[in-house]
A = this chain, B = another copy of it.
Amino acid sequence: MEENQKKCYEIAERIYDLDVKVYESVGSALGRTFTDDRQTCVENLTRLMTLRPQGHLLRSELALISNMARTIKDEEVKAEVMTEYDAILKAVAELPDGFGKVDILNKKRAKLNTARTKKKFKKGDHLVICIGRTQGSAGNDIGFALADALHINYYDVEILQEVLKRLDVTNDAKVSGDKDQDGLIEDKYQKNFGEAKGLKQKLHDFNRYHGLNKDDAIFFNQSDLLCKMAKEEDFVVMGRCADVILANNHIPHISIFITAPFEQRVKRYMEVNNLSLKQAVHELKKMDKKHRKYFQFYSGVKWGDAENYDICFNSASYGIEDSVEIIERMLNKIPGVSWNKKEA
């Protein structure tokens, strides 16, 4: 018998013996998972363990034993049985073919995921939370409250536009050599993003964006801005394909999608905006379509599809306040404590 098979056989014997022990302690034939004779059962179990495809069946057998074991009334016997159960689980997990061995983790993706428990923040990493949302799901409210709770900046489309507009003013001032505006160099946005774009750079940009429509030019400007910001500060950003842009540029972030059932969103949208049912339905569908189109055009993946985000959230199940707290907990932040005190 080869080494691995021998190990499997030994574990199979332990599983069978555990089942017998649980059966004796519970005192009912219904408590018994394996009803065949010892030899047959152990051989079947060994087969389950050596043939990978049946991994989930072995798990089911083990779960049946442990579910039953938890009903044992004698606490001492129960503790003894559960200890052996844990030891068996560990032994199975250590088998080269044990279940749970083949992880689903995407290393590249996980490396960029700042909400993992095992990932330590490095110096220079920033907490960047990208939030996508359906219209009326209170996603913006949650994003804004979350930024406030974490004491970090909040950016939505209006703010990003405003920041870009200010940068343009600064750049134009620089290019035209307006000395009166030199004091502006101390400004944060100026410092971070507006570094002395000379005429040469301007021409380069012009050539780069030449032939693009205005939307594309704005998208690229915002993308550049987001990447620069993500290297400088912690923030929450709403929409803008920020998650995809940052992933493509290998910049750590967390991607969250917030939604709620359509009827719930309609109900809220009517109330917030004082609209009729018909108006609200029309408006929601229009805005969702707009966001979907934008996201899919620039990202190439499906908007709102769970596999394209780290986490999706149903705001109808939590409400605004609770959503913020659950996200804080996921980030392992105790509510109220500033994020900035992170490891160097």
Q: Which residues of A contact B (CB under 8 A)?
A: 26-31, 52-53, 55-57, 59-60, 63-64, 66-68, 70-71, 89, 99-100, 102-106, 109-110, 113, 115-118, 134, 136-138, 140-141, 144-145, 147-148, 151, 153-156, 158-159, 162, 166, 169-170, 183-184, 186-190, 257, 259-262, 264-265, 268, 271-274, 304, 306-322, 325-326, 329-330, 332
Which residues on the B side are within 8 Å of A27 (C-beta)?
183, 186
| Leading 4 A-B pairs by shortest Cβ distance | A105-B319, A312-B312, A104-B138, A306-B312
A64–B166 Cα distance when bound, in Å, is 12
- Secondary structure of the A contact surface, majority rule: helix
Which residues on the B side are within 8 Å of A60 (C-beta)?
156, 158-159, 162
- Known A153-B70, A187-B26: A57·B158 in contact at CB below 8 Å: yes
A259–B307 Cα distance when bound, in Å, is 6
Say whether B159 contacts A67, CB under 8 Å. Answer: yes
A304–B272 Cα distance when bound, in Å, is 29
Say whether B317 contacts A310, CB under 8 Å. Answer: yes
A35 CB to nearest chain B CB (Å): 11
A188–B25 Cα distance when bound, in Å, is 12
Say whether B56 contacts A106, CB under 8 Å. Answer: no
Which residues on the B side are within 8 Å of A310 (C-beta)?
314, 317-318
Which residues on the B side are within 8 Å of A304 (C-beta)?
306
